[in-house]
Structures are given as structure tokens and as C-alpha cells.
Amino acid sequence: MAYVQGFLLPVPNANKDKYTAMAQMGSRIFKKHGALSVYECWGADVPDGKVTSFPMAVKLKEDETVVFSWIVWPDAETAKTGMDASMKDFESELGSDMSNMPFDGMRMMWGFFETIVED
């Protein structure tokens, strides 16, 4: 079964177009290095919670939207080597200065997940 890398991050609403362009570039790069598919989802109905929620998890500010993304890889090894190669491509295209990113990377979270149901 597939191996999935998930991301959750806050993006300033004013940067939606910049983020979308970066995400399209990222999709191209990830697929070049073995990703099967890439999904970038702009929050449409993401409610605040009382104990926990997506907005709380990323410390969402009033002028931001939660983005939920995932990359589907064929297996864990491809994910590891593909992400390493992809980060090198990102750095060569965007530079290593994280202040150029259209979001606050300090409030982004990610992880790898083994698929247990695929239907």
C-alpha cells in the first residue's frame, strides 16, 4: 500500500496565489522524484475547536487560512529518497532563505503515514 506524507500549515490569505504557484511547482518536483499524486487543499470550512482543531494546531491568525496537503508515494523508501531530492530542487529554485516562503514554516507540521485502508 501507499506511503503518505501529510502537511498542515497556515497561509496568509494575501499569499494564496503565491502559495498556489509554489504548490504547483512542488507537485511537479515531487512527481519528478517518484510521488504518485499531490493534493493541496485550501481550507473552506475549518471550524475552531474547544479542545483542539486544525486552526488551533497551527495557531491560525485572523488573516490566514489552514492548508491541508498530502503527497502519495509508492513506498517509504521512495518517499525518503524523493523528499531528499525534492528539497534540493526546491532550494535550487527558491533559494535556501525560508523568509521567501509564502507561509510561516515554524507553524507547519508534517509526518509520514502508512496506509491501512485504501479503497
Q: What is the CATH number of the domain that holds 55?
A: 3.30.70.100
Q: Would residue 80 count as lying in a domain?
A: yes
Q: Would residue 12 count as lying in a domain?
A: yes
Q: 16-58 pLDDT, tens per residue?
A: 999 999 999 999 999 999 999 999 999 999 999 999 999 999 9
Distance of CA 37 to the CA centre of its chain: 12
Per-chain mean pLDDT for the chain: 93
Q: Would residue 119 count as lying in a domain?
A: no
Predicted pLDDT of residue 93:
76
Domain count, the chain: 1
Predicted pLDDT of residue 100:
75
Q: Which helix (H) or strand (E) holds 113?
A: strand 109-114
Are the C-beta atoms of 43 and 57 separated by less than 8 Å?
A: no
Asked whether residue 97 carries a pLDDT value surpassing 80, the answer given is no
**Domain span including residue 91:** 3-114
Q: Would residue 7 count as lying in a domain?
A: yes
Q: Would residue 34 count as lying in a domain?
A: yes
| Pairwise CA distance, residues 22 & 81, whole Å | 21
Predicted pLDDT of residue 99:
66
- pLDDT band with cut points at 50, 70 and 90 for residue 98: low
